[in-house]
Each structure stands twice: as structure tokens, then as C-alpha cells.
Amino acid sequence: MQPLGVGLIGTGYMGKCHALAWTSVRAVFGDVARPRLVHLAEANIDLAQARAAEFGFEKATADWRLLICDPEVDVVSITTPNQFHADMAIAALQAGKHVWCEKPMAPAYADAERMLHAAKASGKAAVLGYNYIQNPVMRHIRALIGEGAIGAVNHIRVEMDEDFMADPDAFFYWKSELSAGYGALDDFAVHPLSLLWYLFGHVEAVVTDMVKPYADRPLKDGGRRAVENHDAATVLLRLGGGISAVLMANRAAWGRKGRIALQIYGSSGSISYDQERMNEFELYQAQGRGTEQGFRKILTSPAHPPYDRFVPAPGHGLGFNDLKIIECRELIRAISGEPSSIVTFEDGLRIEKSVHAMAQSFHERRWIEIG
Amino acid sequence: MQPLGVGLIGTGYMGKCHALAWTSVRAVFGDVARPRLVHLAEANIDLAQARAAEFGFEKATADWRLLICDPEVDVVSITTPNQFHADMAIAALQAGKHVWCEKPMAPAYADAERMLHAAKASGKAAVLGYNYIQNPVMRHIRALIGEGAIGAVNHIRVEMDEDFMADPDAFFYWKSELSAGYGALDDFAVHPLSLLWYLFGHVEAVVTDMVKPYADRPLKDGGRRAVENHDAATVLLRLGGGISAVLMANRAAWGRKGRIALQIYGSSGSISYDQERMNEFELYQAQGRGTEQGFRKILTSPAHPPYDRFVPAPGHGLGFNDLKIIECRELIRAISGEPSSIVTFEDGLRIEKSVHAMAQSFHERRWIEIG
Amino acid sequence: MQPLGVGLIGTGYMGKCHALAWTSVRAVFGDVARPRLVHLAEANIDLAQARAAEFGFEKATADWRLLICDPEVDVVSITTPNQFHADMAIAALQAGKHVWCEKPMAPAYADAERMLHAAKASGKAAVLGYNYIQNPVMRHIRALIGEGAIGAVNHIRVEMDEDFMADPDAFFYWKSELSAGYGALDDFAVHPLSLLWYLFGHVEAVVTDMVKPYADRPLKDGGRRAVENHDAATVLLRLGGGISAVLMANRAAWGRKGRIALQIYGSSGSISYDQERMNEFELYQAQGRGTEQGFRKILTSPAHPPYDRFVPAPGHGLGFNDLKIIECRELIRAISGEPSSIVTFEDGLRIEKSVHAMAQSFHERRWIEIG
Amino acid sequence: MQPLGVGLIGTGYMGKCHALAWTSVRAVFGDVARPRLVHLAEANIDLAQARAAEFGFEKATADWRLLICDPEVDVVSITTPNQFHADMAIAALQAGKHVWCEKPMAPAYADAERMLHAAKASGKAAVLGYNYIQNPVMRHIRALIGEGAIGAVNHIRVEMDEDFMADPDAFFYWKSELSAGYGALDDFAVHPLSLLWYLFGHVEAVVTDMVKPYADRPLKDGGRRAVENHDAATVLLRLGGGISAVLMANRAAWGRKGRIALQIYGSSGSISYDQERMNEFELYQAQGRGTEQGFRKILTSPAHPPYDRFVPAPGHGLGFNDLKIIECRELIRAISGEPSSIVTFEDGLRIEKSVHAMAQSFHERRWIEIG
């Protein structure tokens, strides 16, 4: 197999995460060719050059369109702010590149639809960066559910919470503008939705509430400005097969740092998980003597692939960045036409449709069916 | 102070719990007179006599109306199935007795209203058995919120889960009949509602979903019978001051045994608690250096009254029955006209109104405002 | 069965705990006669009378010898400071009373031996207050080990920690005097030793280290006084069958409140427990698929007797005082000649022999075999 | 700065871990030059070539001496079984290479001494792979202790447990041979000792017990063979300043997978940590109101460097392999003569001296002072 030529647009939080994944994927997995780090784009040419040197890219540019036209680039990592995703992804696909775009697709649903159309027209791999589904824990939970380890699932709760908007005295910034989206719904809800999709399929109906913990925030220059979106959202959901679920998202939840807490109840057992302790999960099975039934805390191990590709000893733990390495290998498999576990633009569009339905439910104060 | 003459109707789970509370309340607290255990009623006279001997009551009867007319009885503990509460409580109040009735008041709202009218007409203490609010942890959480330890509360989540209806192969029994009520809503939701009321006041609006994990259940004689109520309920709520909340109740949640999990988010901190570990809670305060901020696991101690009345050393733990002893002392204080922390029939009626509104919301598939 | 006449000497921490146990044991268990609370002794007659009224004892005295001679007293609870145990217990036994004495027996081994001799000569029940073995969790752990649930046990660790001596600025008081004993060894080590004895039998060899976290302490009148005993002790032990164990005790361990943490490793599984969460334990069994092996957190339930005598629902929790009620019932059974699970003076003497051997090991800086 | 030329000997568990660290260190940290992966040695030439291709090394060899003579190699990673460390490290140092050798140095103390002499004679960096000290948690604990956050430390407990030797039916293999070392002592104890050294300095005196959970093991060809070393060890220790400690190591501890549990008690607080949850630690400080004191669970965040080099958001978690990347950067700093946090051969020799003293203590059944 020819090495893939990689282009990277954006070098912030997720940009570095992609760069690390491209750097290590071959050494970790062994079964994919070593990617060639070809071209890196950043808004500022100095920064672009500095990051290219750090991350090991051959070329640097301040014009992402140059990168997209580079014939040595086969696949483009898009890690810029959400409002740029659509233009970049569509241009890349139209230029015949595969695309690995960070979630969500785009703030506006119509833009996300255009992205999907471009993907379909291109015939190229178009993959979204929903890396939490790549956790070996999540893969194993999916396998357990599939084999009936907790019976028929009937009820789910999922919470995603952080506290970066929790301080009422923090200055107003763009995250609180309407143009940045609904707030907790699109910042956070898409992640739990990707897990629900991965484990159970798509959402069928929702009713939503949202709140602004702080009506306004101080401005740096003095005065205050009204907050325009909602830091906390709560949603009742129905999935297929009559499964009820609750989704709670709060970016103003003091003390929560990277929490994605999942509870899954079935007819013969239950499962719980928290992303803040991403190397373990809990399983209850109504089996054996009642006097010894209890939630089992299971640590990941080489028996939960692809944990084994990272560490051959159990209980030693993967990190957040390792999830992106796993996703990168799945992407490469998708590009090669092999079976892979990824969120395509098609899956992603449906996730975003759910988010918009949630917002609509809040504004119209009623249940919304998602067609 | 004259010793109170106690009558006890019902000797099951809660009947024994009341008996133990009446037995120990004087020795634990020291500041109330020793109650006199006068009269015990049970459906069957042999059982009544056996239980009277065990629990130390002077008289036994199979006719609860005799007990209610007993001039030596000052206060009546009502611990029978819910459908009997109204008749017994009203008769007792009309006979001039104080009443300590297990929750909920009655399956039908109109009956609960009649109970409240009887209480008001009698001028006697009429108290409901919502013992979870008596936990020293809950008292301390209330004090912390009151003094602003976590700032202004803006978001709450509460879950109540057990697994006694979780086995799909268990035979159909009365708990699944419509006449037994809505299911999870009135079995469980009243407890979280009592905590929400105790900490924050009453609920203003709700939207509810409910599910039947199992559509039908086997009958002992063969065949199957359709389940008539809902084992799991999920509710979005609004409390006063724009606080959003979620209430989740599931009596078919494998692995949960006595879970009442509470999360409270405020503008400068947060609190979490789980009844399955009732002697501790977690507090996060956004204070001091960021590098050492975290949830503090706080064990109850003599500094959290009335823990000190049970054990003079910290971290040694109260049990479920101890909560009823605390409630019993609060009841005695209420009877004596002293300030007390209890759920009166008036408070309880509002709790039950919320439950009925939740059920209505489910059936009408819309938000319901609670007047 | 005739009601037992009860005498209680001492009304502090443990005195109240005994009083509550005598008060409730009949109502909780049903299968023992209601004890008669006859006589209470306290150093001060006013306090004695006040406590007798609170706890429900008929007579009060400031002279414990009067209580011991009271023909209406059948059994004497001794809950005074350790240095009084020997005289009181021996006098009570010689007066033909059963004795329920708080641990330890006596600071001096010779006094403890005299207590045992008096017990043997009297033929009466002579029982020590090692209530932690009465926890339904501990009973179940014992049963699990007995049935081979974790295979052959080969290694044990037990830690007992509190922090009441942790503050270096607290004033010197009698606990730091040599006359009060070795420090952590006799304050704490006896409890873990009672658990080891209950689960595995007696200790065969020890090597000990002890430290004084604070060399001296301030005096109330100014100046400082040297601390005379050791707040922390660590011991390597050998039990029968080549089992190795470690015992750690620290009464200056900041943050620990009532910790007795036990780890038991066997050839096919392991068990862990912490008294600060006394209603649960963890069990690992090397059974089934490796991908689902993990420590199971098991909450106590009615299936773990005698939990069922307190609460008929699982996961609702007992408290510290409930353990004493269980112990009280075991004592009554012992008095009645029924099989019972208690620590007799004979068992207790062996526990104290181990403690003295530990101290000797420290002073002689070598392993000590316990004959 | 010139890129370092890297040679890697061994491609098993730790070999891959080193390879991943060399691959990513530049992209993660930015402040070190990109290493050049020059030469890889593995016992078998086919495997060597396959691994070189996977890990991205330019040359492959089955003769590690060729690698050591390669003028393009500046630093040699030694990740072979322990008995080869001495020869390889000494040869590399004598060839003028820097050495990064996995722990422990060598089974025989004399060999470890020779390694130190070679290091001193060479003037090159000679560093051991004790990566647990590189955890941002451990760095922060060290800083907290240094600034007196828990006062003067007086007592420490450390446990290292896994279960890879826990199955009594597993076949005898080389780990149970005397030639493989003492067992738990050198497999495990060196890691806790590296943490004790990092936080508090070296050990001064020890007394040890060791056990063989299983006297013999089955052979693949039938029959059984006696186990020659000890799977579990327990040690009482004294550190400088009169600090007492306990070290427990067990490689037959069912259910423990990567446990390194640390408890540190000081005069104004305490700290606890468990490697199985390597992204958090607990801190208790005896400050503020007693009613809110408790252990704080602190998740690592960008405020705990160098976590920030991996993820800019708190609570997202590093993995085991990330610790080696940190260590690699420290190594590069050491090679460059910059301040660095590493375990040199000199520090390592002292750690191994402690291990040998522990074994001696067991065999001579007495306390051993370490000069």
C-alpha cells in the first residue's frame, strides 16, 4: 500500500491531536502504512511553519486552499472552528481528497447537508472525529449488548458535563454568542448522541429543556452583555424499540471536567461508564447467587482490542490521545475499503438533525418526532 | 411532659421501623419523654398479638378502629398499604389523635385532599413518613445551600432506582396493576420530590415520559397478563427561580438497590449524594488554587447533627432505621408545638399534586404547569 | 425464658451503645426475651440518675459494687475506661453475673489473665465487645471463605486508621501517657486482630515497628510534654497455614475517620472491605470470561443475615449501633447456651497476647513467635 | 540542536513503548529536536526487520553489538530481559553512547555496580526507565509535599499488586526460577522504591517477609516443579527523619492489574493515589471548617504540567505510554545538560541495594540497616 499523504488544517487542541495520531498510527498498529505528513495549514504563516516543524510536516501554508490543491495530499484533517468545516470539507472532497473532519459538521444544518452531498459526489472517505466511540471500553460494551449480556436494553441515561462555562464572573466571549450555536446542545450533546448511535441507532423523538445559568456576563471593557445561548440542556428521548433515554448536557457544571456518564439498563443486567475514568466500566449481571451479585468494575486489558496494540498488560490505561490513534487507523481502513468503525458524514448528519430537533423542541415547547 | 400513648397500625416493613423508632427515640435523644407503646393493630389477631409482644405494645387488636378509639392512644402510626391511609388517617384525626402516616398519602388525589382537610379541622399534628430528609447529610446539604456554599443553584438531577421489578420472568403481582398506581412515579418519585421540596421548594412545571420495560408478565397459573403501569419514568422539571431539574425513577433498574442519587449544581460549586452510601456526600467548591480543586468526599460526623446523638465518633455511620428515629423525634417536637423538620399533610399534598401532573403530562404528551 | 435483668456500668460512648442495644434487641430479633433494664452505675449520682431516666433503667447508683450485688441483675455491661475492666468484671463474675465487657480486657496482660480465670471459675458467659465481627458483611465474608469462594487464602492486609490524634497542636492528654497503653497497638490493633481471628484464627508470629508522629505536645498551662506512646504501628504477621499478613494502625491518620480496610487474597479470588462503607464489600472471582472479570461491589441485603431483621429491602444500610444490637442478641444466645458468634474472654486473651507480643517485637527489634 | 540518533535493543512490551516515545516526543513537547530512529536490534533478523519497518527505524540487526558500534547512534534504548542489561549498557557506554535502560539494572548487585562504574567513566547520560515518577500526578504530589501542603510527612504505605502469577494452575515458567530473581521484590518493589526515592529519598532500614502462595506448579510435560522464588513480599521500612513506611508487593493478587497504591500521611493532611486510576489523586487537608473536611478527588489538568503538552482540557486523561514520552523528553534534557527529572544509574543502584537488603532481611529474619 502506498503511504497516504496527509494535510492538516488547524493546529489547536484537535489539530495537535490529529498530528499525534498520524505520527504514531503505524508504530502502534503495524498493519497500516506509515502516513507521509505532507502539508500543514494555519491562519498565520509563522505559526504554520513552527507547527510544521514541531509536528513533522514537510510544507506549511497560511492558505488552506493551497493545501487542498496539493497533489501530494491524499487526505485532509480539518480541525478548525466549526464555521469553517463546510467550506473546507467540500473543497477538499471536490479536489478528490479524503476528509477527516472534527465534529460537528457545521452550525447550520443546510451546510451539513451540503457536506454530505459533496461526500457522496466524491466517492471519497468522509469521516467525522467522534473519537469517544473508539474507546476499547465502548467497543466492548457494544459487543456485550450485541450478545445479550444484559438482555434487551430498555432504558438509558447519558450525561456530558464540564465546567469551562461555570464561572459567572468570567468575561463574555464568543461561546456565549448565538452565532456559536445553541450552547450545550451542539458543544456537548453530539458526543452522547454519537455513543447512543454507536450502541443503539438513531433517536426517534425528543422533548427538551434548556437554561441559562447566567443571564449575562461582564465585558472586559466594563458593562455586561446578555448571554445568547444555553449552557445546560436536558432532553427526554425515545430510541427505536421503545427504549427511553435521558440526555443531560451542562458546560457550567462545577467540578466536572470530562464527564460522559452512561447508564444502560437491560432485562438481565446493566452497564455504567464514565469518561473521566475511561479505562474501566461497570457491569451488573443478574446471574448466579443473589448474595454475590453486584456491579463489577472491569479494567480494560489486552483482551479488549485494540488496547493490546498499546500495552500488553492489563489495567495500565490508555489516554485521550490514544482514542484518536485508533480513529486514525479506522479512517485508514475506511480509505482502503476495509470494514471500519467510524462516523461517516451520513451518520453525522443524522446526529446533527437530532440536535436541531432538540432545539426546536425547546423553542416550541413540545415533543418533536425525528423523521 | 406526659408520655405520649402510641398506637401502631400495620407491622410490615414500615410498621417495624416505626416500632423501633418509638422504642429508641428517648434513649437516643434524651430530650423527649419516653413514649408508651399502647396499642397495636394488625389484620390478623394472632399476628397482632405476636407483634405486640415482640415490639412491646400493651394491647393488640385486629380492628384498627378500636385502636383509634382507645383513649390511651395519643398518636397513631399508619403503616398499612397505601389504599388504607385515607380512611385510617381521617378516622384518627377525627378521634383527636395525632397522625404519623407513611408516604404517599393516598393513590387518589381527592382522598389525599380529604386527609388534609381532616388534619386542618383537627388541629392535630399530621405528618408523613418521608424519612430521607432526616439524614444528617441532607440537613447539612440544606444548610450549605442556605449559606451559599455552592452559590446560586441552577440545575439539579435526581435519580431513584431499585431493581425489585427488574426480572422479566417474575410473576405478575399487584404492583403491576393500574389500581396500584402509576408505577415508578408514585412508588419512587415522591421521595426525590420530598428532597427537592426540602432543599428548594415545590415544582412548577413538568414534562414526563414513562415506559414499560416488560409489556406482560407470566401468571402463576400459566398464561401471561399485560402490565398496566410503568416501571420507569423520566421527567424534566422547572422549579422556582428558573432552576431546571431532571427526575429519573426506575424500579426495574438491575443492580440498583436503594439508590437516590442527587446532583446539585450552583454558581460556585456543586454537591452530589447517593442514598446507597448514606453516610457521605461530595462537595466541590470553586475556591483556592485550581490545582487542588476537586470533589471532597465528606463523611458524616458528630459535627453534623443529630449524628452526634447516635455516635460520638466521626465516620462510624448511621443506618436506614436511624432516620426513622430522627423523624420520630421531629414528630414529637411537632406535637409539642416546637419547631420541627417534617413533611406535613399540606406539604405532602403538593408533592402528590406534582406526581399527578407528571402522569398527566405523559398521557397528554405535553408540558404541565402546576398551579 | 425469663427476662434478663441488665446492669450497665458507664454511660459514655459505649455505655449508650449498650443501652440502645438492650432497648431494641427484642423488637429487632423477636426471638429473645425483652431484657429488663434494672440498674445503672455512673461515677456521679446525678449523672447516673439522669442517664437512668434517659435510657430507661429502674435504679441508679454511683457505686458500681452495689449494682453488681443487685440480685435483680443477671448480666452486667461494663463500658468504663480500660483500667477498670478487670476489677469490675471479676467482681461481677464472682457475684454470679454474666459479663459483657468492652474491649480490650485490661491494659496489663496479668489482669486480663485474672479476668479469664474468674470467668472460668464462674461458669458464666464472659463476652467482649468486638462488634465489628457482627457486621452481616463480615459474616458473609467468613461464609465465602469457608466455602472456598476465593480458594485458599494466602495473604491479608488490614489497616485501621482514624485521625483523633492527628493534630500536632492538640494538647497533651491521657491518651499519650504510657499508662494508657502502647498507643495505636491497643487502641486499634485489637479490632483488626478480632477480624483476623474471626476469619482465620490466631496470629503465630509478628515483627513490629512503631512511631511517634509528634515527639511532644503542648500543655494547657504552657510548656510541652513528651509523648509517651506510639500513634502509629505497622506489623508483619504470620497466621496458621503459612498465611502472611500486614497490620497497620494509625490514630494520627488525617482524613481517616473509622477506617478498617481489609484485603484478603486467595488462590482463586480476593475480597476487600472498608468499615467506612460498612454496608458493602468487594469480591473478585477468577471465573468466567476474562473480559468481564472485575471486583464486584456487593451491597448487603436481606440475603445476608441478620440484615433482614433490620430492613427487608436490600441496599438500605445498617448503622454502627446496629452491630451492637446483633452482638447483644449473640450474647443472650450465649447466656442461654445456644450457639453464638462472640469473642469470649478466652479468645480475647489470645488477641491481647498478640498485642503484647507486637510491643515486645518493637522493643526487642525482632520477630516474636506467639506460643 | 542536532537530532539524536537512536538505537533500540529489544522490541517487546517496553521496546515498543520506547519506540512510541521516540516517535512522538518532538510533536508532543515541541521543545526538543526530532530524534532520528537509526538502528533497531532484535534477536531474530526477520523480526528485527519487521519491527524496524513498523517503528520506523532505518536499519535492523540481529547483533546488538553492531548497533552499539553504529556511529550514527547517539543513544541506546535497552529493553531486553534483565539479565542482558549489564553487558549491553556497559558496552554502549564504553562506545560513547548515552543509555536509556529499563529497570531494574541487573539481577546481581555486582553487575549493577559495574554499570554505574561504566556510566561514571563514560560521562554519558545513563538513565533508568522508572516511568511512574513521570506522571503529572506524581510531580504534583512532590510539589505539594515540598510546599508543606500536608505538613511534615510521618507515615507512608505503598502497595504494588498485579495478578499475572495468581493462577495456581498456570504452568511453571522462568519467572518462578531463582535465576529470575527474588520474585515480587525485584519485579515490583523497585517501582514503589522509585516513588519513595522521588518523593522522600532513600530507605534506611528494612525488615521483610516473603511467601510463596503456591509451593509448586504443573509442568507442561506432566509432573510439577517447586517454585523457587516468592510471589508476595511485605516490608517494614524506615526512611530518613524517622518516617515509617510499609511496602507490600504481590504478583499473585487476584483482581489487581496495575495497582500501585500510595498513602502518605503528614502532620496537616494526607494524600492517596492508585496507578490503576493514574489521572487522579486524593488530597485531605486539615483546613477550614470540620464539617466540610474530606478527601478531595483531584483530576489532572493542564495546570499539572506536562499534562498540558498532551491535552489542553482538564480531566481527559493521559495513558501509560504517555509517561514514557515524558521520560523520553527528560532523558533528552539530561543528554543536553539541562535540569531533568530522571532516575540515574546512581539513584537506581541505591534502589537495588534496598531490594537486596530486603531479601537479606527475609533470609536472616531480622532488621537490616542500609548504609
Cα separation, D345 vs D371, whole angstroms: 18
pLDDT band with cut points at 50, 70 and 90 for residue C1: low
pLDDT given for residue A325 in this prediction: 98
pLDDT band with cut points at 50, 70 and 90 for residue A1: low
Q: Which of B234, B281, B295 to mutate to test the interface with A (most CBs of A within 10 A)?
A: B234
Of the candidates C351, C352, C323, C340, which has an alpha carbon nearest to the alpha carbon of residue C201? C351
C246:D242 CB<8 A: no
Q: Summarize pLDDT for A38-61 with one digit per residue, the tens.
A: 999 999 999 999 999 999 999 999
Cβ atoms of D64 and D43 within 8 Å: the answer is no
CA distance C28 to chain A (A): 22
Of the candidates B297, B277, C295, B164, which has an alpha carbon nearest to the alpha carbon of residue A282? C295
C291:A297 CB<8 A: no
Residue type, B291: T
Nearest CA in chain A to C315: A294
Q: Residue B359, CB half-sphere, CA atoms under 13 Å: how many?
A: 21
* Complex ipTM more than 0.85, yes or no: yes
pLDDT of D194 over the 80 cut: yes
Q: Summarize pLDDT for A4-22 with one digit per residue, the tens.
A: 999 999 999 999 999 999 9
pLDDT of C349 over the 60 cut: yes
CA distance C318 to chain D (A): 22
Q: What are the CA-CA distances from residue D309 to residues A12, A13, A243, B183, D303 (Å)?
A: 12, 10, 41, 52, 11
A259:D315 CB<8 A: yes
D317:A313 CB<8 A: no
pLDDT given for residue C348 in this prediction: 97
pLDDT band with cut points at 50, 70 and 90 for residue D85: very high
pLDDT given for residue A371 in this prediction: 81
| Neighbouring subunits of A (3+ Cβ pairs under 8 A) | B, C, D
Q: What are the CA-CA distances from residue A192 to residues A183, A229, A336, D99 (Å)?
A: 15, 20, 28, 46
Q: Which of C280, C294, C296 sits opposite A299 (nearest CB)?
A: C294
Residues 273-332 of C with CB under 8 A from B: 276-280, 299, 301, 310-322
CA distance D362 to chain A (A): 29
pLDDT of A141 over the 70 cut: yes
In the numeric block, which cell numbers belong to residue C69? Answer: 450485688
pLDDT of D351 over the 60 cut: yes
For A112, counting Cβ atoms within 10 Å of its Cβ (0-12 exposed, 13-18 middle, 19+ buried), the class is: buried
Burial state string for B224-247 with b = 16 or more CB within 10 A and e = fewer than 16: eeebbbbbbbbbbbbbeeebbbbb
Nearest CA in chain C to D239: C211
pLDDT of D186 over the 90 cut: no
Residue carrying the nine cell digits 438513531: A202
CA distance B24 to chain D (A): 27
pLDDT of A138 over the 70 cut: yes
In the numeric block, which cell numbers belong to residue C115? Answer: 479476668
| Neighbouring subunits of C (3+ Cβ pairs under 8 A) | A, B, D
Of the candidates D280, D228, D329, which has an alpha carbon nearest to the alpha carbon of residue B292? D280
D299:A276 CB<8 A: yes
Q: Which of A155, A238, A252 sits opposite B250 (nearest CB)?
A: A155
Chain C residues in contact with A288 by the CB 8 A cut-off are none
- Strand segments, DSSP code E, in chain B are 5-9, 36-41, 59-61, 75-78, 98-101, 126-128, 153-161, 203-211, 216-218, 224-226, 232-239, 244-250, 259-266, 269-274, 280-285, 295-299, 343-344, 368-369
Mean pLDDT for all residues in chain C: 97
A294:C297 CB<8 A: yes
Nearest CA in chain B to D284: B296
B·D CB contacts under 8 A:
52
pLDDT given for residue B299 in this prediction: 98
Cα separation, D202 vs C61, whole angstroms: 59
Q: Summarize pLDDT for A296-340 with one digit per residue, the tens.
A: 999 999 999 999 999 999 999 999 999 999 999 999 999 999 999
pLDDT given for residue A301 in this prediction: 98
Q: Summarize pLDDT for D305-322 with one digit per residue, the tens.
A: 999 999 999 999 999 999
Q: Which of D254, D263, D270, D363 to mutate to test the interface with C (most CBs of C within 10 A)?
A: D254
Chain D residues in contact with B282 by the CB 8 A cut-off are 294
In the numeric block, which cell numbers belong to residue C273? Answer: 472491605
Q: Summarize pLDDT for C200-228 with one digit per residue, the tens.
A: 999 999 999 999 999 999 999 999 999 99
Nearest CA in chain C to B26: C54
D236:C150 CB<8 A: no
CA distance C189 to chain D (A): 16
Cα separation, C39 vs A333, whole angstroms: 83
pLDDT band with cut points at 50, 70 and 90 for residue C365: very high
Chain D residues in contact with C230 by the CB 8 A cut-off are none
Cβ atoms of A183 and A189 within 8 Å: the answer is no
B254:A284 CB<8 A: yes
Cβ–Cβ contact D241 with C under 8 A: no
Chain D residues in contact with B297 by the CB 8 A cut-off are 294-297
Q: What is the pLDDT averaged over residues D129-152? A: 98
Chain C residues in contact with A304 by the CB 8 A cut-off are 291
Residues 136-155 of D with CB under 8 A from B: 140, 144, 149
To the nearest whole percent, how much of chain A has pLDDT over 70?
100
Chain A residues in contact with B160 by the CB 8 A cut-off are none
Chain D residues in contact with A56 by the CB 8 A cut-off are 26-27, 34
A315:D278 CB<8 A: no
pLDDT given for residue D1 in this prediction: 55
Q: What angle do CA C217, C219, C221 make, to 5 degrees?
A: 160
Cβ–Cβ contact D1 with A under 8 A: no
C290:A297 CB<8 A: no
pLDDT given for residue A186 in this prediction: 87
Chain A residues in contact with B166 by the CB 8 A cut-off are 267, 286
Helix (H, G, I), strand (E, B) or coil at C52: helix
Chain A residues in contact with D17 by the CB 8 A cut-off are 311
Q: Residue D212, CB half-sphere, CA atoms under 13 Å: how many?
A: 14
Burial state string for C179-218 with b = 16 or more CB within 10 A and e = fewer than 16: ebbbbbbbbbbbbbbbbbbbbbeebbbbbbbbbbbbeebe
Whether cis (ω within 30° of 0) applies to the bond prior to D136 is: no
Q: What is the pLDDT averaged over residues C48-52? A: 98
Q: Summarize pLDDT for C170-200 with one digit per residue, the tens.
A: 999 999 999 889 999 988 999 999 999 999 9
A213:B268 CB<8 A: no
Q: Which of C142, C291, C297 to mutate to test the interface with A (most CBs of A within 10 A)?
A: C291
**Cβ atoms < 10 Å from Cβ of B297:** 19
Which residues of chain B are under the pLDDT cut of 50?
A: none
Nearest CA in chain D to A297: D255
Q: Which residues on adjacent β-strands are paired with residue D274?
A: D261
Domains and CATH numbers, chain B: 5-124 (3.40.50.720), 133-369 (3.30.360.10)
